[in-house]
Amino acid sequence: MKFTNKQYVRWDDLDAMGHVNHAKYLIYAQEARFAMLGIFNMVVARAEADYKAPITEGNIFIDVTMWVESIGNSSFILVYELSNNGVLCSRIKTVQVSVSEDTRSSRPLSNLQREELSKYLETRS
Residues 3-34: pLDDT tens digits? 999 999 999 999 999 999 999 999 999 999 99
Domain regions of the chain by residue span: 3-118
**CA 53, 21, 79, 38 torsion-angle sign:** negative
Question: CATH for 3-118?
Answer: 3.10.129.10
Question: Is the pLDDT score of 112 beyond 60?
Answer: yes
Beta-carbon contacts of 53 under 8 Å, excluding residues fewer than 6 positions away, are 84, 87, 88, 89
- pTM here is 0.93
Residues 42-91: pLDDT tens digits? 999 999 999 999 999 999 999 999 999 999 999 999 999 999 999 999 99
